[in-house]
Amino acid sequence: MSPSNQESTYGDSTSQYDPKNSNGDYVMFKCLPPESGKLNRWSQALTRGHDYPGAQAMLYGAGVPNEDMMKNAPHVGIATVWWEGNPCNMHLLDFGKIVKKAVEKENMLGWQFNTVGVSDAITMGGEGMRFSLQTRELIADSIESVTMAQHHDGNISIPGCDKNMPGCVIAGGGGGYQAARHNRPFIMIYGGTIRKGHSNTLGKSINISTCYEAAGAYTYGRLHAARPQTTKAANGGPDIETPSPSQVLADIEQHACPGAGACGGMYTANTMATAIEAMGLSLPGSSSYPATSPEKARECERSAKAIKVLMRKDVRPRDIMTRAAFENALVLTMVLGGSTNGVLHFLAMANTADVPLTLDDVDRTSSRVPLLADLAPSGRYYMEDLYAVGGTPSVLKMLVARGLIDGTVLTVTGRTLGENVEGWPSLDPGQKIIRDLDDPIKKTGHLRVLRGNLAPGGAVAKITGKEGLGFTGRARVFDKEHQLDEALSAGTTIKATDGNLVLVVRYEGPKGGPGMPEQLRASAAIMGAGLANVALVTDGRYSGASHGFIVGHVVPEAAAGGPIALVRDGDVVTIDAVRNRIDAVSVSDEEMAERRKGWKEPELRPKRGTMAKYARLVGDASSGAVTDQW
Residue 187: closest CA among 171, 169, 164, 166: 169
**Exposed / middle / buried, residue 138 (Cβ in 10 Å: 0-12, 13-18, 19+):** buried
Run of H or E including 109: strand 109-114
Helical pair 323-336 and 341-352, crossing angle rounded to 10 deg: 170
Residue 319: closest CA among 285, 355, 369: 355
Cross-strand partners of 574: 472, 583
Give Cβ neighbours of residue 256 (< 8 Å, ≥ 6 apart): 197, 199, 206, 207, 208, 210, 211
Interatomic CA distance for residues 183 and 564, integer angstroms? 39
Cross-strand partners of 537: 504, 551
Neighbours of 63 (CB within 10 A): 11
Interatomic CA distance for residues 416 and 410, integer angstroms? 5
Q: Is 400 helix (H, G, I), strand (E, B) or coil?
A: helix
Interatomic CA distance for residues 537 and 546, integer angstroms? 13
Residue among 199, 282, 543, 622 flagged as catalytic: 543
471: left (phi over 0), alpha (psi -120 to 50) or beta: beta
Helical pair 610-617 and 134-149, crossing angle rounded to 10 deg: 90
Eight-class DSSP state of 240? B
Q: Is 378 a catalytic residue?
A: no
φ, ψ of residue 507 in degrees (nearest 5): 60, 35
Q: Is 512 helix (H, G, I), strand (E, B) or coil?
A: coil
Q: Tell me the one-letter amino acid at 151.
A: H
Give Cβ neighbours of residue 306 (< 8 Å, ≥ 6 apart): 187, 283, 412, 413, 414
Cross-strand partners of 575: 471, 582
Interatomic CA distance for residues 39 and 37, integer angstroms? 7
Q: If you write DSSP's letter for every residue of 192-231 in order, what string do you get?
A: -BPPPEEETTTTEEE-HHHHHHHHHHHHTT----SS-S-B
CA of residue 410 relative to chain centroid, distance: 22
Q: Tell me the one-letter amino acid at 40.
A: N
- State in Å, rounded, how far the first CA of the chain is from the last one: 47
Note the helical H segments in 539-597: 589-597
Catalytic center residues: 543
